[in-house]
């Protein structure tokens, strides 16, 4: 019997069980659902606390940012560490340091975005687009408190701008602007910034990642503004790590770990 | 049939879509032979979970969870103090709960990090596939098993 037949049976049974389960779910967009308002007669949902109180706690209008970087600071820190660990894992799996064992990649040295006339349109478009992308990415990081955005999104956009250089020209071109040494150092630096914002309150006698006490260092009026500014610092750390790791993943995957030529 | 759609499918239309999307991903995880196609299945599966979570946080007529987009709500909520969460005072509050103006931020936070980590882990999976291809010249599962078996028989 075809194994795909058994696969279909297993998948259909799983699907039917799930469909049976969702019959009891609240309808789409119901503001009184347990996730949005809590169960009747029980405790109210955590999200209500965030919506009603987080502006008073942190002075950050974007609830997603305040929950991400303050209330769930541990979670976000270790998510960033996971991204960093993924980058290190790809480095360990692919990067062949000091030997050229059969990774057959023709090195197109002629098509950098500076030289070759055949790629002048691509090169010029890339030259015009990259600064705009990077400035917008910095805006997304810095303005994450007041509009949708934050460290993860801005970091991915910054990484994408370097990937765009690598796609339009070649990998050597992008690595000339953002070398392996610097992206590995920056990836660690981002984690260090985040962990530093965690350790600093400990030095001042509070808990890990309890930013409120940082008003003594940041000289803000009140612990709320100290939380707000610390969140910005933390988001910058996240953005640096995510940017570096996104480009590291692309550089290693597209050149099979040789970091030469590529595509 | 029409009754079934109107009474059973329509109120939970979003969940039906996600379950079907999840079934597609799960099927390709089990039945497909090529490792890249399995990873595509994993990505589809992940999208279904992410959409599921985000749809839980949706409220009818609510805006994005950024307080500045709703006039002076932020100041009002702060001045009103903790009592503004109406669920504490009455179990089934009226529709005028001010928190209903904003989508639930918690699923957004959870999925924001999940998406980035998903990209990173997909990168690790691609790196592993690249090494497998370098070693065995194939990504088809049955051929891989045959070649690994041949290696063991030789040894």
* The 3-state secondary structure of chain B, one letter per residue: CHHHHHHHHHHHHHHHHHHHHHHHHHHHHHHCCEHHHHHHHHHHHHHHHHHHHHHHCCCCCCECCEHHHHCCHHHHHHHHHHHHCHHHHCCCCCCCCHHHHECCHHHHHHHHHHHHHHHHHHHHHHHHHHHHHHHHCCCEHHHHHHHHHHHHHHC
CB contact under 8 A, A27 and B127: no
Smallest CA-to-CA distance from A64 within B69, B112, B51, B53 is with: B112
CB < 8 Å from A in window 80-109 of B: 82, 84-85, 87-88, 91-93, 95, 97-100, 102, 104-109
Backbone φ/ψ region at A100: left (φ over 0), alpha (ψ -120 to 50), beta: beta
pLDDT, averaged across chain B: 81
Topology, domain B18-58+104-155 = Helix Hairpins (1.10.287)
Cβ-defined contact of A90 to B107 (cutoff 8 Å): no
CA distance A26 to B104: 15
Q: How far apart are CA A101 and CA B134, in angstroms?
A: 10
Angle in degrees, CA A75, A51, B69, rounded to 5: 110
This prediction has a pTM of 0.85
In tens, the pLDDT along A132-182 reads 999 999 999 998 888 888 889 999 999 999 999 888 878 888 888 898 899
Residue pLDDT, tens place only, B94-124: 445 777 888 888 999 999 888 888 888 899 9
Residues whose CB falls within 8 Å of the CB of residue B107, separated by 6 or more in sequence, listed in order: A35, B53, B54, B56, B57
Nearest to B92 among A40, A48, A86 (CB): A40
Which tens digit of pLDDT belongs to each residue from A50-75?
Answer: 888 888 888 888 889 989 988 999 99
Residue A8: which of B27, B85, B98 has the nearest Cβ? B27
Task: Verify whether the Cβ–Cβ distance B120 to A86 is below 8 Å.
Answer: yes
Kindly list the residues from chain A whose CB atom is less than 8 angstroms away from the CB atom of residue B7: none
Domain boundaries, chain B: 18-58+104-155, 66-103
Domain ranges of chain A: 61-99+109-254
Out of A52, A53, A90, closest to residue B124 by CB: A90
Q: Which of B124, B136, B140 to mutate to test the interface with A (most CBs of A within 10 A)?
A: B124
pLDDT of A263 > 80? The answer is: no
């Amino acid at each position: 019997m075809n194994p795909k037949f058994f696969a279909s049976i297993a998948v259909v049974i799983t699907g039917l069980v799930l469909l049976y389960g969702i019959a009891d779910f609240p309808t789409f967009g119901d503001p009184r659902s347990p996730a949005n308002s809590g169960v009747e007669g029980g405790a109210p949902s955590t999200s209500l606390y965030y919506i009603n109180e987080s502006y008073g706690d942190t002075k950050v209008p974007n609830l997603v940012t305040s929950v991400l970087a303050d209330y769930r600071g541990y979670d976000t820190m270790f998510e960033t560490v996971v991204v960093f660990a993924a980058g290190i894992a790809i480095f360990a799996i692919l990067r062949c340091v000091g030997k050229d064992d059969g990774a057959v990649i023709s090195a197109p040295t002629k098509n950098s975005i500076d030289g070759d006339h055949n790629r002048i349109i691509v090169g010029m478009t890339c030259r015009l687009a990259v600064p705009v992308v990077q400035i917008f990415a910095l805006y997304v990081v810095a303005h994450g408190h007041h509009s949708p955005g934050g460290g993860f999104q801005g970091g991915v956009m910054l990484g994408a701008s370097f990937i765009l250089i690598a796609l339009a020209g070649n990998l050597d071109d992008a690595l000339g602007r953002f070398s392996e040494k610097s992206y590995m150092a920056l990836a660690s630096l981002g984690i260090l910034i985040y962990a530093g914002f965690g350790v600093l309150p400990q030095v001042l006698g509070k808990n890990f990642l309890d930013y409120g006490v940082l008003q003594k260092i940041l000289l803000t009026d009140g612990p709320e503004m100290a939380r707000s500014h610390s969140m910005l610092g933390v988001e910058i750390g996240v953005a640096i790590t995510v940017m570096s790791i996104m480009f590291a993943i692309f550089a290693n995957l597209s050149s099979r770990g040789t970091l030469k030529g590529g595509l | 049939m029409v009754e079934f759609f109107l009474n059973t499918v329509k109120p939970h239309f979003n969940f039906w879509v996600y379950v079907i999307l999840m079934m597609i991903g799960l099927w390709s995880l089990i039945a497909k032979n090529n490792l890249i196609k399995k990873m595509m299945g994993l990505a589809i599966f992940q999208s279904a979970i992410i959409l599921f979570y985000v749809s839980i946080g949706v409220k009818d007529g609510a805006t994005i969870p950024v307080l500045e987009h709703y006039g002076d709500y932020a100041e009002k909520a702060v001045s009103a103090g903790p009592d503004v969460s109406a669920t504490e005072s009455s179990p089934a509050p009226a529709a005028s709960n001010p928190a209903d103006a904003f989508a639930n931020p918690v699923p957004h936070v959870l999925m924001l990090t999940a998406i980035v980590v998903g990209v990173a882990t997909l990168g690790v999976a691609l790196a592993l596939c690249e090494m497998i291809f370098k070693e065995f010249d194939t990504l088809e599962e049955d051929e891989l098993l045959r070649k690994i078996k041949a290696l063991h028989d030789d040894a």
